[in-house]
Structure 1
Amino acid sequence: MTETLRLGFTGDVMLGRLVNQRQEHRPSHAVWGSMRERLGSLEGLFVNLECCLSTRGRQWTLTHHPFHFRADPDWAVPALQDVGVTWATLANNHVLDYGDDALEDTFSALEGGGIPYTGAGRTENRAWEPTHVTVDGLDVSLVAFTDNTPEFAADGDSPGTAYVDIDPNDEGSLERVGTVLERAREDDPDLLVASMHWGPNMREYPPESFRAFAHWAVDSGVDIVHGHSAHVFQGVEVYDGSLILYDTGDFVDDYAVDPVLRNDRSFLFEVEVSPTGRLFDLRMIPTEIAECAVYRAFPAVAEWCRDTMRRRSADFGTQFDVDDECLVVHVDGQ
């Protein structure tokens, strides 16, 4: 057992559409660009998988849904395995883009590849079931849910996502999430992670309601809040010894780029923890998407990422250091 472990968290990993087309002509690991070695060196890697893994199904048409993301599991699963993805959240607004058949293929592909997941399931109970993984002896319990696309919600014995209205004033929502957190704590894990696909696109700051909800989650035992959905990274906060990543942005995709918000830029969020789950440092490695792959950002882009993260975190009072062009937050010192 090592003295400290490095756990990586990313925003959206969208392997469909143009990414999928590009991967037909290059090795599966090419999608990780220059970040491949860094990702593979982590003890644990946790991602939001923003697509289904299938070659079957038809595009969702039951409600208005303008974008549809699907990746061929024959290359996508080996790509996820290549960098040692430890766990994937499926609680998002694209896992059902091609209907139930493609969702079932996604479950089967991940299960066949030995990649645990949470946030969607073959039944409502399974969608809400916490997942437990062990990372070099560290017991991690994970829950995942989303407030996006209610029509994708699992219902009874119907497959779908763990959908909930994320509202700190909604007693029903708090009760449902609280029950799942209680179940996740039953085995006394070293670390409890709540992954939330929440809020609208292209927002630089979380609303006050999300800040209140994140604080409530920490008060309920969560050690790391892993947020995503906005397509741009938002601020980070240390609250009562826990870490809140309000939005981890986009990690790899083929999306159109906003020239101001720069949704092609984000970070690999590395959390250094002890073997008993104590949080030490958060290291944020600036990244940029190019040619449907992810790369470590060049110096000028890395500076933009650092400055932007400082600005977006200002209201939280988060203190940053810089080391090797990375932002560092000393979680145990704030």
Structure 2
Amino acid sequence: MPLRLGFTGDVMLGRVVNDRQRRRSVDAVWGTVLERLRGLDGLVINLECCLSTRGQQWQRTYRPFHFRADPDWAIPALEHAGVDVCTLANNHILDYEEVALRDTLEALDEAGIARTGAGETIDEALEPAVRTIGDTDTSDDDLEIAVIGLTDNTPEYAADEESPGTGWIEIDADDAEMRERVRETLERARETNPDLLVASLHWGPNMVTEPPESFQAFGRWLIEEGVDIVHGHSAHVFQAIEVHEGRPIIYDAGDFVDDYRVDPELRNDRSFLFVLSVTPDGDPLELRLHPTEIEDCAVDEASSEAAEWARERMRNLSAPFGTEFDRDGDALVLSLES
């Protein structure tokens, strides 16, 4: 039986979201999407904030926004949604400096939520998140996944051999040194013998609707290096999906939940829950896109109007890559079977 692994765009639980959650139920942030999330076999998110009540706002370089959420509600919320992996390689994990990063790592570890992309050192930041999903009581019906997290955002947040931070790279598929570092990171993930290898990338600037050629080349290169799905995020708006060698590249998954101002044209409040169906051996079968919409600092199933807008926009963005979708109810469906 196929297993279903969900991927989301940015999950930002700080600022107004954090304030609202202090006065409503733990599950409220997931809105009407909660049951769909809980029905998945696994779930990977980009956690776009630190989980801490400690620390001071980063002042060493100019940072206009600082995001953190109280782990007392945020961890139960992640657990209730069934989050298996949080990628932390992004431009907000050090917003409240090292103490808040360490609180985040500790809170996720204590909850048994796998994480990747940030750590006490660069070695830890590049360590893959490894998780078994599916019916773990039956070895024939589970899936071993390994997720690596990388970012080209905010180089001042980069970890090194002695300092905590993110798994930072400068994305250039022609850079031999960068390629070697990424190959080593992928090899560490492959050493865990996963059925499915995921590269989760927080790349590029905000409010950009198309991936640059360098990202396209890098995404294809990752697939050629053995990655089964590229999970991109950072732009706050969803971008195209490309299929390369039978594997999907989600160039940007957009925003899943936050408190951001909505651009009336780019509609950063609209995106999808991306659900990859795979065999127990890790062979991708299809990618299903369920339209979502952010309202009142929570994520909901998109209204009919919003869903139609999102489907049409995704079709138009993906068409230049030769990507064609079918339709099943509100969802777009991309077949990956050869």
Q: Mean Cα displacement is larger for which, 42-51 or 308-317?
A: 308-317
1:325 Cα deviation after fit = 1.2
Helix, strand or coil: the match of 2:109? helix
Helix, strand or coil: the match of 1:66? coil
Residue 259 of structure 2 aligns with which residue?
A: 254
Aligned length: 331
1:188 Cα deviation after fit = 2.8
Gaps of 5+ in 2: 135-141
Is the Cα–Cα contact under 8 Å of residues 128 and 148 in structure 2 kept in the other structure? yes
Please show how residues 102-117 of structure 1 align to structure 2 within 5 Å: 102-117=100-115
Please show how residues 181-196 of structure 1 align to structure 2 within 5 Å: 181-196=186-201
Residue 229 of structure 1 aligns with which residue?
A: 234
Helix, strand or coil: the match of 2:79? helix
Runs of 4+ residues over 3 Å off in structure 1: none
Is the Cα–Cα contact under 8 Å of residues 130 and 192 in structure 2 kept in the other structure? no
What is the rounded CA distance, in whole Å, between the counterparts of 1:317 and 1:62 in structure 2? 44
Residue 172 of structure 1 aligns with which residue?
A: 177
Normalised by the size of structure 2, how large is the TM-score?
0.97
User: Deviation digits for residues 193-251 of structure 1, max 9, x if unmatched?
Assistant: 00000001101110011000001000000000000000000011111011110000000
Residue 69 of structure 1 aligns with which residue?
A: 67
Say which of 146, 149, 157 aligns to 1:152.
157
What is the rounded CA distance, in whole Å, between the counterparts of 1:131 and 1:321 in structure 2? 32
Helix, strand or coil: the match of 1:97? coil
1:124 Cα deviation after fit = 1.4
1:92 Cα deviation after fit = 0.1
Helix, strand or coil: the match of 2:337? helix
Say which of 277, 284, 287 aligns to 1:279.
284
Residue 306 of structure 2 aligns with which residue?
A: 301
What is the rounded CA distance, in whole Å, between the counterparts of 2:98 and 2:194 in structure 1? 33
Letter in 1 for 2:272: F
Say which of 214, 218, 221 aligns to 1:213.
218
What is the rounded CA distance, in whole Å, between the counterparts of 1:131 and 1:102 in structure 2? 20
Residue 311 of structure 1 aligns with which residue?
A: 316
What is the rounded CA distance, in whole Å, between the counterparts of 2:282 and 2:323 in structure 1? 21
Please show how residues 88-127 of structure 1 align to structure 2 within 5 Å: 88-127=86-125
Residue 163 of structure 1 aligns with which residue?
A: 168
Gaps of 5+ in 1: none
User: Deviation digits for residues 9-65 of structure 1, max 9, x if unmatched?
Assistant: 000000000000000100111000000000011000000000000000000010010
What is the rounded CA distance, in whole Å, between the counterparts of 1:127 and 1:80 in structure 2? 21
Helix, strand or coil: the match of 1:111? helix
Percent identity of equivalent pairs:
60
